[in-house]
Amino acid sequence: MVNIKKNIQNITSNIQSAQKKFGRSQNSVQLLAASKSRTINEILDAIRAGQRIFGESYVQEGVDKIVFFQKKYLKLSLEWHFIGNIQSNKTNQVSKNFDWVHTISRSKIAQRLNDQRPKGMKPIQVLIQVNTSNERNKFGVTDTEIFPLAKLISSLPNLKLRGLMSIPHNKSEYQSQFSSFLKLVNLKKKLNLKYPFLDTLSMGMSNDMHAAIAAGSTIVRIGTAIFGIRNYD
């Protein structure tokens, strides 16, 4: 039986220890619970443990959860991040329901999210996804594509550019993980010369969280270490 509350407590403690170890400011790293394929009850267990930020990768599943919690638990002020690939025909639902989007890599998607954001809602907080490992099977822009996309996003009133996100090549060695994350850190530094307000690096998951925090991550996306191995049956 997975003890979600204990797992969150342990991860939070590990984040705090890593912040101290690597000279990071207190509370400079946020824990995002990657909750795709997780049940309402599992998410409720995480909420009872104090978790308020959740990430979804499938649009309809994520929207269903958001609607449920808005109806049943409105006072909780949960924050919903979309962390999966976005297809053009799904932008409307993402724009109407999510607070953050981590995975913008095409100007068409950015434009549609902006145009479809309902009036009266706050701008979507967005990150540009970068393919730092240059893998053909991964989404994300190349180094040279970052600036044109950042320029477009910055001109859209219903989007607020916050920084960068990456899913690096899966490596088990700490130094290799750290080097991969430094690529995104250095790209953000270049971007900060023109956009000094950018403050977010979404990088690091259950198997490479410490290297990500050491490099400068501000959001770690943790799924398995919180909820256990997914059961797709």
Q: What is the pLDDT of residues 161-214, one digit of tens each?
A: 999 999 988 888 999 999 999 999 999 999 999 999 999 999 999 999 999 999
Query: For residue 108, which amino acid is it?
Result: K
Long-range contacts, stretch 168-171, CB < 8 angstroms, 24+ apart: 168/132, 168/133, 168/203, 168/208, 169/133, 169/135, 170/207, 171/208
Query: What local confidence, expressed as pLDDT, does residue 136 receive?
Result: 80
pLDDT tens for 69-118 read 999 988 899 999 999 999 999 999 999 999 999 999 999 999 999 999 99
Distance CA 107, CA 181 (A): 24
Burial state string for 152-189 with b = 16 or more CB within 10 A and e = fewer than 16:
bbeebebbebbbbbbbbeebeeeeebbebbebbbebbe
The whole-number pLDDT of residue 185 equals 98
Question: Which are the contacts of 210, defined by CB distance < 8 A and separation ≥ 6?
Answer: 14, 18, 174
Residue 47: how many CA atoms within 13 Å on its side-chain side? 18
33 residue type, one letter: A
Within 8 A by CB and 6+ apart from 143, the residues are 130, 187
* Nearest C-alpha neighbor of 33 from the set 221, 231, 186, 224: 221
CA 53 – CA 190 distance, rounded (Å): 28
Asked if residue 191 lies in contact with residue 147, where contact means CB atoms within 8 angstroms, the answer is yes
pTM of the model: 0.96
Question: Three-class SS of residue 210?
Answer: helix
- Predicted pLDDT at 231: 67
Domain boundaries, the chain: 4-18+40-227
The CATH T-level fold of domain 4-18+40-227 is TIM Barrel (3.20.20)
Q: What is the CA radius of gyration of the chain?
A: 17
Q: Is 124 exposed, middle or buried (0-12, 13-18, 19+ CB in 10 A)?
A: buried
